[in-house]
Amino acid sequence: MKQWRMALFGREEPKIDEYIINHQTDLYSNFQGRLPNPKQTSFDRPVPAKSLVKIIREEGDFSLVTVIQSKDPKVKGTGWIQSAALEDSPKHKGTKGGKNAKVPDTRKTTVPQVFFKRGENSPTPKVAAGPFNVGTRVRIQEKRGEWTLVVMLDRVKGQGGLEGWMPTEFLSPKEN
């Protein structure tokens, strides 16, 4: 590797610009390169198992649903739940409209589910090892305005190489 770097870059060691976290922060997962949805908050109550929901759209691991029927009458409205918590999609059965009539995509939840408020995009899970402390070393992968994709250079809770998005303002160049 050292010979290859010397021939290609004129140096034996990699040049990595290190940054440090200047404010304790969470790291949001890098799902399909999309920017995170930091406004995600969950409703006060989970959606109980066997609740009937109407699927509005599916995005990644989440589905935007409207609760149609639930054991808990206080659970209502439209929000995001994990798609894996839904029973398999029903088969389209012949109805009054005939064999190919469209059946609304309604399904039941299989387990109690955290219910995230409706937002423009699906929720972005936080990396479980966080929040990350001031002074943690990172390398910048990509900047997109308010958000920066980073890779952790320090091992955190036994894990190294974690990648995710954090607010750009929470990063400072490391002083040598």
Same domain, 129 and 166: yes
Q: What are phi and psi of 28, to 5 degrees?
A: -95, 140
Same domain, 56 and 28: no
Same domain, 57 and 104: yes
pLDDT band at 30 (very low <50, low <70, confident <90, very high): confident
Which pLDDT score, from 0 to 100, does residue 94 have? 41
Between 20-24, 88-92, 113-117, the lowest mean confidence (pLDDT) is in: 88-92
Same domain, 68 and 111: yes
Question: Within a domain: residue 42?
Answer: no
Task: Give the β-pairing of 18-21 and 77-82.
Answer: unpaired
Residue span of the structural domain in which 95 resides: 52-117
The pair of structure tokens assigned to 28 is: 């949001």
Same domain, 107 and 138: no
Same domain, 33 and 69: no
* Average pLDDT of the residues in 82-86: 89
| 124: Cβ contacts below 8 Å, ≥ 6 apart | 28, 29, 31, 34, 36, 37, 38, 40, 165
| 62: Cβ contacts below 8 Å, ≥ 6 apart | 80, 81, 82, 83, 116, 122, 123
Question: Within a domain: residue 5?
Answer: no
CATH number at residue 133: 2.30.30.40
Helix (H/G/I), strand (E/B), else coil: 172: strand
Q: Which tens digit of pLDDT belongs to each residue from 94-132?
A: 444 444 444 468 899 999 888 888 777 788 878 878 788
User: Looking at residue 93, what DSSP letter applies?
Assistant: P
Question: Within a domain: residue 44?
Answer: no
